[in-house]
Structure 1
Amino acid sequence: MDPSRVRPADALAELGRIRLAEVELDKVLHRVAELANQSIPGCAYVSVTLTHAGTARTAAATAELARELDEWQYRYDQGPCLDASASAESLLVPDMAGEQRWAGWVARARAAGVGSSLSIGLPIQEAVTGALNLYGVAAHAFDAEAIAVAEDFAAYAAVALANAHLYDSTATLARQMRDAMRSRAVIEQAKGIIMGQRRCSPDEAFAVLAKLSQDSNRKVRDVAEAMVAAVDTDR
Protein backbone atom coordinates (compact mmCIF):
# COMPACT_ATOMS: atom_id res chain seq x y z
CA MET A 1 0.00 0.00 0.00
CA ASP A 2 1.24 3.49 -0.89
CA PRO A 3 2.47 5.03 2.41
CA SER A 4 0.71 8.29 1.51
CA ARG A 5 -2.63 6.47 1.38
CA VAL A 6 -4.97 5.98 4.34
CA ARG A 7 -7.40 3.10 4.68
CA PRO A 8 -11.03 4.35 4.55
CA ALA A 9 -11.77 2.80 7.95
CA ASP A 10 -8.79 4.61 9.48
CA ALA A 11 -9.91 7.91 7.92
CA LEU A 12 -13.39 7.53 9.42
CA ALA A 13 -11.89 6.65 12.79
CA GLU A 14 -9.74 9.79 12.73
CA LEU A 15 -12.76 11.96 11.91
CA GLY A 16 -14.49 10.52 14.96
CA ARG A 17 -11.52 11.27 17.20
CA ILE A 18 -11.28 14.99 16.45
CA ARG A 19 -11.35 16.90 19.75
CA LEU A 20 -13.22 20.11 19.03
CA ALA A 21 -11.83 21.95 22.04
CA GLU A 22 -8.32 21.46 20.67
CA VAL A 23 -8.84 21.94 16.92
CA GLU A 24 -10.00 25.10 15.15
CA LEU A 25 -12.72 24.87 12.50
CA ASP A 26 -10.32 25.75 9.66
CA LYS A 27 -7.99 22.93 10.72
CA VAL A 28 -10.89 20.46 10.81
CA LEU A 29 -11.85 21.49 7.28
CA HIS A 30 -8.31 21.08 5.98
CA ARG A 31 -7.95 17.68 7.66
CA VAL A 32 -11.24 16.54 6.11
CA ALA A 33 -9.90 17.47 2.66
CA GLU A 34 -6.56 15.73 3.29
CA LEU A 35 -8.15 12.54 4.59
CA ALA A 36 -10.55 12.40 1.64
CA ASN A 37 -7.65 12.81 -0.77
CA GLN A 38 -5.68 10.05 0.96
CA SER A 39 -8.47 7.53 1.46
CA ILE A 40 -10.90 7.77 -1.48
CA PRO A 41 -9.77 5.86 -4.59
CA GLY A 42 -9.35 7.92 -7.75
CA CYS A 43 -8.83 11.29 -6.02
CA ALA A 44 -6.19 13.62 -7.36
CA TYR A 45 -7.46 16.80 -5.69
CA VAL A 46 -10.10 17.55 -3.05
CA SER A 47 -11.88 20.68 -1.88
CA VAL A 48 -14.61 21.51 0.61
CA THR A 49 -17.28 24.06 -0.31
CA LEU A 50 -19.29 25.85 2.38
CA THR A 51 -22.41 27.81 1.53
CA HIS A 52 -23.98 30.32 3.91
CA ALA A 53 -26.64 32.96 3.21
CA GLY A 54 -26.38 32.29 -0.50
CA THR A 55 -22.61 32.78 -0.63
CA ALA A 56 -20.28 29.89 -1.41
CA ARG A 57 -16.58 29.66 -0.63
CA THR A 58 -13.88 27.03 -0.70
CA ALA A 59 -13.01 26.47 2.94
CA ALA A 60 -10.24 23.94 2.28
CA ALA A 61 -8.41 22.48 -0.71
CA THR A 62 -5.53 20.07 -1.23
CA ALA A 63 -4.41 21.84 -4.41
CA GLU A 64 -4.79 25.27 -5.96
CA LEU A 65 -6.36 23.70 -9.06
CA ALA A 66 -9.28 22.40 -6.98
CA ARG A 67 -9.78 25.87 -5.52
CA GLU A 68 -9.69 27.45 -8.98
CA LEU A 69 -12.28 25.02 -10.36
CA ASP A 70 -14.55 25.73 -7.38
CA GLU A 71 -14.17 29.49 -7.69
CA TRP A 72 -15.09 29.35 -11.39
CA GLN A 73 -18.41 27.84 -10.29
CA TYR A 74 -19.00 30.56 -7.70
CA ARG A 75 -18.18 33.29 -10.22
CA TYR A 76 -20.59 32.00 -12.88
CA ASP A 77 -23.13 30.45 -10.46
CA GLN A 78 -23.09 27.03 -12.07
CA GLY A 79 -21.40 23.71 -11.45
CA PRO A 80 -21.63 20.40 -9.59
CA CYS A 81 -20.31 21.60 -6.22
CA LEU A 82 -23.00 24.29 -6.03
CA ASP A 83 -25.76 21.89 -7.07
CA ALA A 84 -24.55 19.20 -4.65
CA SER A 85 -24.41 21.74 -1.83
CA ALA A 86 -27.96 22.91 -2.56
CA SER A 87 -29.46 19.43 -2.96
CA ALA A 88 -27.32 17.44 -0.46
CA GLU A 89 -26.97 14.82 -3.20
CA SER A 90 -24.02 13.19 -4.98
CA LEU A 91 -23.25 14.49 -8.46
CA LEU A 92 -20.87 12.45 -10.60
CA VAL A 93 -19.20 13.63 -13.79
CA PRO A 94 -17.80 10.32 -15.06
CA ASP A 95 -16.14 11.76 -18.15
CA MET A 96 -15.63 15.48 -18.77
CA ALA A 97 -15.40 14.79 -22.51
CA GLY A 98 -19.01 13.59 -22.63
CA GLU A 99 -20.57 15.84 -19.99
CA GLN A 100 -23.45 18.05 -21.20
CA ARG A 101 -24.21 19.88 -17.94
CA TRP A 102 -22.32 23.01 -16.89
CA ALA A 103 -20.64 23.39 -20.29
CA GLY A 104 -18.42 26.34 -19.36
CA TRP A 105 -17.11 24.72 -16.21
CA VAL A 106 -16.54 21.38 -17.95
CA ALA A 107 -14.45 23.11 -20.61
CA ARG A 108 -12.38 24.79 -17.90
CA ALA A 109 -11.89 21.49 -16.05
CA ARG A 110 -10.84 19.65 -19.22
CA ALA A 111 -8.36 22.40 -20.08
CA ALA A 112 -6.86 21.98 -16.59
CA GLY A 113 -6.38 18.24 -17.11
CA VAL A 114 -9.30 16.99 -15.00
CA GLY A 115 -11.09 13.99 -16.48
CA SER A 116 -13.84 13.36 -13.92
CA SER A 117 -15.31 14.66 -10.69
CA LEU A 118 -17.60 13.73 -7.83
CA SER A 119 -19.32 16.28 -5.56
CA ILE A 120 -21.20 15.06 -2.49
CA GLY A 121 -23.56 17.32 -0.54
CA LEU A 122 -22.78 17.99 3.13
CA PRO A 123 -25.86 19.00 5.15
CA ILE A 124 -23.93 20.67 7.95
CA GLN A 125 -26.57 22.89 9.56
CA GLU A 126 -29.82 24.55 8.58
CA ALA A 127 -28.04 27.77 7.67
CA VAL A 128 -24.80 26.20 6.44
CA THR A 129 -24.50 23.58 3.71
CA GLY A 130 -21.54 22.36 1.74
CA ALA A 131 -20.03 19.85 -0.62
CA LEU A 132 -17.05 17.54 -0.67
CA ASN A 133 -15.53 17.90 -4.14
CA LEU A 134 -13.30 15.17 -5.56
CA TYR A 135 -11.37 15.67 -8.79
CA GLY A 136 -9.81 12.86 -10.83
CA VAL A 137 -7.19 13.18 -13.56
CA ALA A 138 -8.52 10.28 -15.63
CA ALA A 139 -12.02 9.79 -16.97
CA HIS A 140 -14.09 7.32 -14.92
CA ALA A 141 -11.76 7.76 -11.94
CA PHE A 142 -14.62 7.06 -9.53
CA ASP A 143 -16.16 3.62 -9.86
CA ALA A 144 -19.05 2.28 -7.78
CA GLU A 145 -16.73 1.24 -4.95
CA ALA A 146 -15.04 4.66 -4.85
CA ILE A 147 -18.42 6.41 -4.79
CA ALA A 148 -19.58 4.23 -1.87
CA VAL A 149 -16.37 5.01 0.05
CA ALA A 150 -16.75 8.72 -0.73
CA GLU A 151 -20.37 8.82 0.44
CA ASP A 152 -19.51 7.03 3.69
CA PHE A 153 -16.65 9.47 4.24
CA ALA A 154 -18.89 12.46 3.48
CA ALA A 155 -21.48 11.27 6.01
CA TYR A 156 -18.84 11.14 8.76
CA ALA A 157 -17.32 14.41 7.60
CA ALA A 158 -20.70 16.15 7.70
CA VAL A 159 -21.14 15.17 11.35
CA ALA A 160 -17.61 16.28 12.23
CA LEU A 161 -18.07 19.60 10.42
CA ALA A 162 -21.50 20.21 11.95
CA ASN A 163 -20.07 19.63 15.43
CA ALA A 164 -17.00 21.76 14.68
CA HIS A 165 -19.12 24.57 13.25
CA LEU A 166 -21.45 24.49 16.25
CA TYR A 167 -18.50 24.49 18.65
CA ASP A 168 -16.83 27.34 16.75
CA SER A 169 -20.06 29.38 16.72
CA THR A 170 -20.59 28.79 20.44
CA ALA A 171 -16.98 29.69 21.26
CA THR A 172 -17.25 32.85 19.12
CA LEU A 173 -20.47 33.86 20.88
CA ALA A 174 -18.83 33.29 24.28
CA ARG A 175 -15.86 35.47 23.28
CA GLN A 176 -18.21 38.19 22.04
CA MET A 177 -20.17 38.09 25.29
CA ARG A 178 -16.97 38.32 27.35
CA ASP A 179 -15.80 41.26 25.24
CA ALA A 180 -19.18 42.95 25.61
CA MET A 181 -19.10 42.49 29.39
CA ARG A 182 -15.56 43.91 29.59
CA SER A 183 -16.58 46.85 27.38
CA ARG A 184 -19.63 47.54 29.52
CA ALA A 185 -17.54 47.44 32.71
CA VAL A 186 -14.96 49.94 31.47
CA ILE A 187 -17.67 52.22 30.06
CA GLU A 188 -19.42 52.20 33.44
CA GLN A 189 -16.11 53.11 35.11
CA ALA A 190 -15.58 56.00 32.71
CA LYS A 191 -19.15 57.21 33.28
CA GLY A 192 -18.48 57.18 37.01
CA ILE A 193 -15.37 59.31 36.49
CA ILE A 194 -17.29 61.83 34.39
CA MET A 195 -20.18 61.93 36.89
CA GLY A 196 -17.72 62.65 39.70
CA GLN A 197 -15.96 65.36 37.74
CA ARG A 198 -19.05 67.09 36.29
CA ARG A 199 -21.71 66.27 38.89
CA CYS A 200 -23.97 64.97 36.10
CA SER A 201 -26.38 62.08 35.59
CA PRO A 202 -25.41 58.68 34.07
CA ASP A 203 -27.14 59.60 30.78
CA GLU A 204 -25.29 62.91 30.61
CA ALA A 205 -22.01 61.13 31.34
CA PHE A 206 -22.58 58.68 28.51
CA ALA A 207 -23.42 61.58 26.18
CA VAL A 208 -20.01 63.08 27.02
CA LEU A 209 -18.33 59.76 26.20
CA ALA A 210 -20.24 59.48 22.94
CA LYS A 211 -19.23 63.03 21.94
CA LEU A 212 -15.56 62.29 22.71
CA SER A 213 -15.84 59.11 20.66
CA GLN A 214 -17.30 60.97 17.70
CA ASP A 215 -14.81 63.85 17.87
CA SER A 216 -11.79 61.52 18.09
CA ASN A 217 -13.13 58.91 15.64
CA ARG A 218 -12.59 56.16 18.19
CA LYS A 219 -14.90 53.54 19.68
CA VAL A 220 -16.67 54.48 22.92
CA ARG A 221 -14.92 51.54 24.60
CA ASP A 222 -11.49 52.81 23.54
CA VAL A 223 -12.25 56.32 24.81
CA ALA A 224 -13.46 54.84 28.11
CA GLU A 225 -10.34 52.66 28.48
CA ALA A 226 -8.07 55.68 27.87
CA MET A 227 -9.98 57.73 30.45
CA VAL A 228 -9.80 54.97 33.10
CA ALA A 229 -6.10 54.40 32.38
CA ALA A 230 -5.38 58.13 32.73
CA VAL A 231 -7.10 58.27 36.13
CA ASP A 232 -5.21 55.18 37.32
CA THR A 233 -1.91 56.78 36.25
CA ASP A 234 -2.69 59.97 38.17
CA ARG A 235 -3.29 58.06 41.41
Structure 2
Amino acid sequence: MTFLEKQDLAARMAELARSLAGPRSLDEVLSGVSAAALELIPGVDAAGVLLIGKERTFETVPKDARLTTELHRLQMQYDEGPCVQAALDDLIVRTDDFRTEDRWPRYAPACVEIGVLSGLSFKLYTSDRTAGALNLFGFQPNVWRGEAETIGVVLAAHAAAAILASQEGQQLEAALSTRDRIGQAKGIIMERYKVNDVQAFEMLRQVSQESNTKLVQVAQQVIDTRD
Protein backbone atom coordinates (compact mmCIF):
# COMPACT_ATOMS: atom_id res chain seq x y z
CA MET A 1 0.00 0.00 0.00
CA THR A 2 1.46 3.37 -1.05
CA PHE A 3 1.67 6.45 1.18
CA LEU A 4 -1.23 8.10 -0.66
CA GLU A 5 -3.34 4.97 -0.35
CA LYS A 6 -2.62 4.88 3.38
CA GLN A 7 -3.64 8.51 3.72
CA ASP A 8 -6.85 7.87 1.80
CA LEU A 9 -7.62 4.82 3.94
CA ALA A 10 -7.00 6.78 7.15
CA ALA A 11 -9.37 9.51 5.98
CA ARG A 12 -12.07 7.01 5.09
CA MET A 13 -11.70 5.22 8.44
CA ALA A 14 -11.97 8.55 10.27
CA GLU A 15 -15.13 9.35 8.33
CA LEU A 16 -16.53 5.94 9.22
CA ALA A 17 -15.82 6.54 12.93
CA ARG A 18 -17.65 9.88 12.78
CA SER A 19 -20.63 8.41 10.98
CA LEU A 20 -20.97 5.51 13.42
CA ALA A 21 -20.69 7.78 16.44
CA GLY A 22 -24.01 9.46 15.71
CA PRO A 23 -27.40 8.47 17.15
CA ARG A 24 -28.10 5.30 15.18
CA SER A 25 -29.75 1.98 15.95
CA LEU A 26 -27.67 -1.16 16.45
CA ASP A 27 -28.82 -2.59 13.11
CA GLU A 28 -27.81 0.64 11.36
CA VAL A 29 -24.33 0.60 12.90
CA LEU A 30 -23.70 -3.07 12.11
CA SER A 31 -25.03 -2.61 8.58
CA GLY A 32 -22.71 0.39 8.22
CA VAL A 33 -19.74 -1.67 9.39
CA SER A 34 -20.56 -4.39 6.88
CA ALA A 35 -20.91 -1.84 4.08
CA ALA A 36 -17.57 -0.30 5.08
CA ALA A 37 -15.89 -3.71 4.82
CA LEU A 38 -17.18 -4.07 1.27
CA GLU A 39 -15.83 -0.63 0.40
CA LEU A 40 -12.51 -0.62 2.24
CA ILE A 41 -11.18 -4.17 1.97
CA PRO A 42 -10.20 -5.47 -1.48
CA GLY A 43 -11.60 -8.90 -2.28
CA VAL A 44 -14.72 -8.68 -0.11
CA ASP A 45 -17.86 -9.62 -2.05
CA ALA A 46 -20.18 -10.19 0.92
CA ALA A 47 -20.06 -9.11 4.55
CA GLY A 48 -22.16 -9.28 7.66
CA VAL A 49 -22.25 -9.74 11.42
CA LEU A 50 -23.28 -13.03 13.01
CA LEU A 51 -24.81 -12.81 16.50
CA ILE A 52 -25.26 -16.03 18.48
CA GLY A 53 -27.47 -16.15 21.58
CA LYS A 54 -27.19 -18.47 24.56
CA GLU A 55 -29.81 -20.89 23.23
CA ARG A 56 -27.93 -21.16 19.90
CA THR A 57 -30.32 -18.69 18.35
CA PHE A 58 -28.65 -16.52 15.74
CA GLU A 59 -29.22 -13.57 13.48
CA THR A 60 -27.41 -11.85 10.66
CA VAL A 61 -27.01 -8.11 10.19
CA PRO A 62 -27.74 -6.67 7.67
CA LYS A 63 -30.95 -8.67 7.65
CA ASP A 64 -31.34 -8.36 3.88
CA ALA A 65 -27.89 -9.84 3.17
CA ARG A 66 -29.15 -13.08 1.66
CA LEU A 67 -25.81 -14.68 0.81
CA THR A 68 -24.28 -13.90 4.22
CA THR A 69 -27.42 -15.10 5.98
CA GLU A 70 -27.27 -18.41 4.10
CA LEU A 71 -23.56 -18.86 4.89
CA HIS A 72 -24.28 -18.21 8.57
CA ARG A 73 -27.26 -20.58 8.52
CA LEU A 74 -25.14 -23.39 7.12
CA GLN A 75 -22.54 -22.91 9.83
CA MET A 76 -25.14 -23.05 12.58
CA GLN A 77 -26.66 -26.14 10.93
CA TYR A 78 -23.30 -27.94 10.65
CA ASP A 79 -21.96 -26.45 13.91
CA GLU A 80 -18.69 -25.63 12.16
CA GLY A 81 -17.12 -22.87 10.12
CA PRO A 82 -15.00 -19.72 10.43
CA CYS A 83 -17.78 -17.42 11.63
CA VAL A 84 -18.84 -19.73 14.46
CA GLN A 85 -15.20 -20.39 15.36
CA ALA A 86 -14.46 -16.66 15.52
CA ALA A 87 -17.64 -15.84 17.44
CA LEU A 88 -17.03 -18.49 20.10
CA ASP A 89 -13.26 -19.01 20.19
CA ASP A 90 -10.56 -17.50 17.98
CA LEU A 91 -9.85 -13.81 17.39
CA ILE A 92 -9.30 -14.04 13.62
CA VAL A 93 -10.14 -16.99 11.38
CA ARG A 94 -8.85 -16.85 7.83
CA THR A 95 -9.52 -19.07 4.84
CA ASP A 96 -7.64 -18.41 1.61
CA ASP A 97 -9.34 -21.16 -0.39
CA PHE A 98 -12.34 -23.23 0.73
CA ARG A 99 -11.51 -25.78 -1.97
CA THR A 100 -8.48 -26.91 0.03
CA GLU A 101 -9.89 -26.20 3.50
CA ASP A 102 -9.99 -29.27 5.79
CA ARG A 103 -11.02 -27.66 9.11
CA TRP A 104 -14.71 -27.75 8.24
CA PRO A 105 -15.43 -30.89 6.18
CA ARG A 106 -19.11 -30.12 5.66
CA TYR A 107 -19.16 -26.34 5.54
CA ALA A 108 -16.22 -25.77 3.18
CA PRO A 109 -17.71 -27.82 0.28
CA ALA A 110 -21.02 -26.00 0.77
CA CYS A 111 -19.23 -22.65 0.34
CA VAL A 112 -17.55 -23.85 -2.84
CA GLU A 113 -20.88 -25.02 -4.21
CA ILE A 114 -22.37 -21.59 -3.55
CA GLY A 115 -19.39 -19.91 -5.20
CA VAL A 116 -17.61 -18.52 -2.12
CA LEU A 117 -13.91 -19.43 -2.06
CA SER A 118 -12.40 -17.26 0.69
CA GLY A 119 -13.41 -16.05 4.14
CA LEU A 120 -12.14 -13.82 6.92
CA SER A 121 -13.84 -13.63 10.33
CA PHE A 122 -13.19 -11.41 13.35
CA LYS A 123 -14.35 -12.08 16.89
CA LEU A 124 -16.53 -9.39 18.46
CA TYR A 125 -16.11 -8.81 22.19
CA THR A 126 -19.76 -8.67 23.19
CA SER A 127 -20.90 -10.18 26.52
CA ASP A 128 -21.46 -13.51 28.22
CA ARG A 129 -24.98 -13.57 26.74
CA THR A 130 -24.14 -12.93 23.10
CA ALA A 131 -21.27 -14.05 20.88
CA GLY A 132 -20.55 -12.34 17.61
CA ALA A 133 -18.28 -12.18 14.59
CA LEU A 134 -17.75 -9.85 11.66
CA ASN A 135 -17.51 -12.06 8.59
CA LEU A 136 -16.13 -11.30 5.15
CA PHE A 137 -16.46 -13.52 2.09
CA GLY A 138 -14.88 -13.46 -1.36
CA PHE A 139 -15.73 -15.17 -4.63
CA GLN A 140 -12.03 -15.50 -5.48
CA PRO A 141 -9.31 -17.43 -3.61
CA ASN A 142 -6.22 -15.89 -1.99
CA VAL A 143 -7.60 -12.35 -1.91
CA TRP A 144 -6.64 -11.29 1.62
CA ARG A 145 -3.71 -8.89 1.74
CA GLY A 146 -1.97 -7.56 4.84
CA GLU A 147 -4.30 -4.60 5.28
CA ALA A 148 -7.39 -6.82 5.21
CA GLU A 149 -6.85 -8.07 8.76
CA THR A 150 -5.82 -4.62 10.03
CA ILE A 151 -8.93 -2.92 8.66
CA GLY A 152 -11.13 -5.83 9.73
CA VAL A 153 -9.95 -5.57 13.33
CA VAL A 154 -10.84 -1.87 13.41
CA LEU A 155 -14.27 -2.50 11.91
CA ALA A 156 -14.88 -5.34 14.36
CA ALA A 157 -14.05 -3.00 17.24
CA HIS A 158 -16.70 -0.54 15.97
CA ALA A 159 -19.26 -3.34 15.76
CA ALA A 160 -18.44 -4.71 19.23
CA ALA A 161 -18.68 -1.24 20.79
CA ALA A 162 -22.11 -0.75 19.24
CA ILE A 163 -23.33 -4.12 20.54
CA LEU A 164 -22.08 -3.45 24.07
CA ALA A 165 -23.64 0.02 24.08
CA SER A 166 -26.96 -1.44 22.96
CA GLN A 167 -26.85 -4.11 25.65
CA GLU A 168 -26.03 -1.55 28.33
CA GLY A 169 -28.91 0.59 27.12
CA GLN A 170 -31.28 -2.37 27.29
CA GLN A 171 -30.10 -3.22 30.79
CA LEU A 172 -30.63 0.37 31.93
CA GLU A 173 -34.08 0.45 30.37
CA ALA A 174 -34.99 -2.82 32.10
CA ALA A 175 -33.68 -1.54 35.45
CA LEU A 176 -35.70 1.66 35.15
CA SER A 177 -38.80 -0.32 34.22
CA THR A 178 -38.30 -2.61 37.23
CA ARG A 179 -37.86 0.35 39.56
CA ASP A 180 -40.98 2.04 38.21
CA ARG A 181 -43.12 -1.08 38.58
CA ILE A 182 -41.98 -1.67 42.16
CA GLY A 183 -42.61 1.98 42.98
CA GLN A 184 -46.08 1.82 41.45
CA ALA A 185 -46.90 -1.37 43.38
CA LYS A 186 -45.70 0.20 46.63
CA GLY A 187 -47.98 3.17 46.04
CA ILE A 188 -50.96 0.88 45.51
CA ILE A 189 -50.20 -1.08 48.71
CA MET A 190 -49.69 2.14 50.72
CA GLU A 191 -53.07 3.45 49.62
CA ARG A 192 -54.86 0.13 49.99
CA TYR A 193 -53.51 -0.87 53.40
CA LYS A 194 -52.64 2.56 54.84
CA VAL A 195 -48.99 1.69 55.43
CA ASN A 196 -45.82 3.66 54.84
CA ASP A 197 -43.21 3.21 52.09
CA VAL A 198 -40.97 0.88 54.10
CA GLN A 199 -43.86 -1.32 55.19
CA ALA A 200 -45.20 -1.55 51.64
CA PHE A 201 -41.84 -2.69 50.32
CA GLU A 202 -41.51 -5.25 53.13
CA MET A 203 -44.93 -6.67 52.20
CA LEU A 204 -43.79 -7.05 48.60
CA ARG A 205 -40.52 -8.65 49.66
CA GLN A 206 -42.25 -11.11 51.97
CA VAL A 207 -44.71 -12.24 49.29
CA SER A 208 -41.78 -12.61 46.88
CA GLN A 209 -39.88 -14.86 49.29
CA GLU A 210 -42.86 -16.96 50.34
CA SER A 211 -44.02 -17.55 46.75
CA ASN A 212 -40.49 -17.90 45.34
CA THR A 213 -41.40 -15.24 42.77
CA LYS A 214 -39.25 -12.39 41.59
CA LEU A 215 -39.99 -9.09 43.28
CA VAL A 216 -40.77 -7.34 40.02
CA GLN A 217 -43.27 -10.09 39.12
CA VAL A 218 -45.03 -9.67 42.46
CA ALA A 219 -45.11 -5.92 41.83
CA GLN A 220 -46.67 -6.50 38.40
CA GLN A 221 -49.33 -8.76 39.96
CA VAL A 222 -50.22 -5.98 42.40
CA ILE A 223 -50.48 -3.52 39.53
CA ASP A 224 -52.64 -5.89 37.48
CA THR A 225 -55.10 -6.43 40.37
CA ARG A 226 -55.32 -2.85 41.61
CA ASP A 227 -58.92 -2.53 40.42
Which TM-score tier does this pair reach, normalised by the shorter chain? 0.7 to 0.9
Paired letter, 1:101: R
Residue of structure 1 in register with 2:123 after alignment: 122
Structure 2: give runs of 5+ residues left out of the alignment: 1-7, 209-216
Structure 1: give runs of 5+ residues left out of the alignment: 1-6, 211-217, 231-235
Residue 11 of structure 1 and its aligned partner are, at CA, apart by 4.2
Residue of structure 2 in register with 1:215 after alignment: none
Paired letter, 2:92: E
Partner SS, residue 87 of structure 1: coil
Residue 87 of structure 1 and its aligned partner are, at CA, apart by 1.0
Residue 73 of structure 1 and its aligned partner are, at CA, apart by 0.8
From 77, 90, 93, the counterpart of 2:93: 90
Residue 139 of structure 1 and its aligned partner are, at CA, apart by 3.0
> For 1:53 and 1:205, how far apart are their aligned partners in 2?
35
> For 2:161 and 2:186, how far apart are their aligned partners in 1?
37
> For 2:92 and 2:179, how far apart are their aligned partners in 1?
43
> In 2 relative to 1, CA 66–19 (structure 1 residues): closer, same or farther, beyond 3 Å?
closer
From 101, 109, 112, the counterpart of 2:111: 109
Residue 165 of structure 1 and its aligned partner are, at CA, apart by 2.6
Residue 162 of structure 1 and its aligned partner are, at CA, apart by 3.1
Residue of structure 1 in register with 2:71 after alignment: 69
Residue 8 of structure 1 and its aligned partner are, at CA, apart by 4.0
> For 2:57 and 2:11, how far apart are their aligned partners in 1?
30
Partner SS, residue 134 of structure 2: strand
> For 2:168 and 2:85, how far apart are their aligned partners in 1?
29
Paired letter, 1:221: Q
Residue 77 of structure 1 and its aligned partner are, at CA, apart by 1.1
Residue of structure 1 in register with 2:49 after alignment: 48
Residue of structure 1 in register with 2:186 after alignment: 188
Contact 2:90-2:123 at 8 Å conserved across structures: no
Equivalenced residues, count: 206
> For 1:124 and 1:72, how far apart are their aligned partners in 2?
23
Instruction: Give the TM-score normalised by structure 1.
Output: 0.72
1:160 aligns with 2:158: yes
Q: Percent identity?
A: 23
Considering only aligned residues, what root-mean-square deviation do their CA atoms show, in Å? 3.3
**Which structure is larger by alpha-carbon Rg, 1 or 2?**
1
> For 1:165 and 1:225, how far apart are their aligned partners in 2?
34
Paired letter, 2:161: N
> For 1:64 and 1:17, how far apart are their aligned partners in 2?
28
1:202-213, aligned counterparts within 5 Å? 202=200
Deviations 1:39-78 (A, max 9, x none): 2111111121234558473441462111111111112211
> In 2 relative to 1, CA 55–13 (structure 1 residues): closer, same or farther, beyond 3 Å?
farther
Instruction: Give the TM-score normalised by structure 2.
Output: 0.74
